[in-house]
């Protein structure tokens, strides 16, 4: 069976799926047509129903539940892994609502966590996560919400952390942060979904068994990243929740869906 798969080129995604994509494990007859795109593009494609299996921000999950099912493996949850609000200078939290904020996509977990922390902030600019640091440095925006490897680089560029939005979530909700998940079209039968989930888990188990080795597939899609940053990225975002959500992971996802409903607005990463 051939399936379309959408993941980001970030090390956490390529690390999880590399063995599956390159048939280093038993894929149970599953062939993949892989599309590598930034998470906001993947979110939009999921809203359009473009791909069979895809990575998404948990922030967009409430809008997808009619057409997609959440898989148990391959996602990113955890503690101490949330987005950061950064700026060139210290800004009092009471003044954030009047600032211009760069956000890595509208339907992202980052946007949802930021909106939860600063519900009065409306002057948002949605852009690629990789453009946000420079937008802040150039003064195009007052502050920005950063994710992924930018967590490891913002201080080197002289930027300051105003708030850890993930810590804010953890303290208020008492559960891990649901960042990104893997969903599959509901048009596939339950057996096929179980097969895909099993192969994703097997792929990650293979990757863990060979770590800290990084396959060329991971490196070639992270060309501007040093290997130590790739490993930091993987160690931050890939964990036991990536193997299986488990009870705590499912509770965290349920909590996020509840927050979305209470906010009664499109979700955000």
Per-residue pLDDT reduced to its tens digit, 105-152: 888 889 999 999 999 999 999 998 889 999 999 999 999 999 877 888
Using alpha carbons, select from 145, 115, 114, 142 the residue that is nearest to residue 127: 145
User: What are the structural domains, with CATH classification, of the chain?
Assistant: 2-77+177-263 (3.40.190.10), 84-173 (3.40.190.10)
Numbered residues of the known binding site for substrate = 55-57, 109-110
Please report the pLDDT score of residue 109 as a whole number.
87
pTM of the model: 0.84
Please report the pLDDT score of residue 17 as a whole number.
98
Q: Is the pLDDT of residue 264 over 80?
A: no
Q: Are 108 and 128 in contact (CB under 8 A)?
A: no
Q: How far is CA 50 from CA 44, 64, 104, 185, in A?
A: 9, 12, 21, 10
Q: Which residues contact 13 (CB under 8 A, 6 or more apart)?
A: 7, 55
The share of the chain scoring above pLDDT 90, in percent, equals 82
Helix (H, G, I), strand (E, B) or coil at 261: helix
Using alpha carbons, select from 181, 183, 182, 151 the residue that is nearest to residue 166: 151
Q: How far apart are CA 12 and CA 148, in angstroms?
A: 9
| CA angle, residues 139, 142, 143, in degrees to nearest 5 | 115
Name residue 243's beta-bridge partners: none
At 267, the pLDDT band (50, 70, 90 cuts) reads very low
Q: How far is CA 107 from CA 7, 111, 185, in A?
A: 16, 7, 19
Tally of CB atoms within 10 A around 262: 9
What are the pLDDT digits (tens) for 66-114? 999 999 999 999 888 889 999 999 999 999 999 999 999 888 889 999 9
Positive or negative torsion for Cα 217, 223, 227, 230: negative
Numbered residues of the known binding site = 55-57, 109-110
What are the pLDDT digits (tens) for 26-67? 999 999 999 999 888 999 999 999 999 999 999 899 999 999
Please report the pLDDT score of residue 269 as a whole number.
46
Provide the annotated active-site residues. 148
Q: Taking residues 219-236, report their average pLDDT.
A: 88
């Amino acid at each position: 069976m051939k399936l379309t798969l959408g993941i980001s080129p970030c090390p956490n995604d390529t690390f999880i799926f590399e063995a599956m994509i390159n048939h280093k494990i038993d894929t149970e007859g599953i062939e993949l047509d892989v599309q590598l795109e930034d998470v906001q593009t993947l979110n939009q494609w999921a809203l359009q129903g473009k791909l069979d299996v895809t990575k998404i921000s948990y922030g967009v999950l409430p809008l997808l539940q009619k057409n997609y099912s959440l898989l148990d493996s391959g996602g990113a949850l955890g503690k101490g892994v949330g987005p950061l609000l950064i700026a060139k200078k210290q800004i009092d939290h009471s003044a954030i609502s009047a600032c211009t904020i760069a956000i890595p996509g509208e339907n992202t977990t980052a946007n949802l966590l930021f909106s939860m922390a600063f519900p009065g902030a409306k002057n948002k600019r949605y852009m690629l996560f990789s453009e946000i640091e420079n937008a802040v440095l150039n003064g195009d925006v007052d502050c920005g919400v950063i994710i992924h490897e930018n967590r490891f680089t913002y201080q080197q560029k002289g930027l300051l952390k105003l708030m850890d939005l993930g810590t804010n979530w953890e303290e208020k909700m008492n559960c891990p942060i649901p960042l990104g998940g893997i969903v599959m079209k509901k048009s596939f039968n339950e057996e096929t979904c179980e097969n895909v989930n099993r192969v994703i888990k097997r792929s990650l188990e293979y990757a863990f068994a060979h770590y800290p080795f990084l396959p060329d597939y991971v490196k070639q899609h992270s060309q501007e990243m040093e290997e130590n940053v790739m490993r930091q990225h993987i160690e931050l975002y890939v964990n036991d929740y990536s193997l299986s959500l488990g009870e705590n992971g499912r509770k965290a996802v349920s909590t996020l869906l509840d927050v979305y409903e209470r906010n009664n607005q499109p979700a955000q990463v």
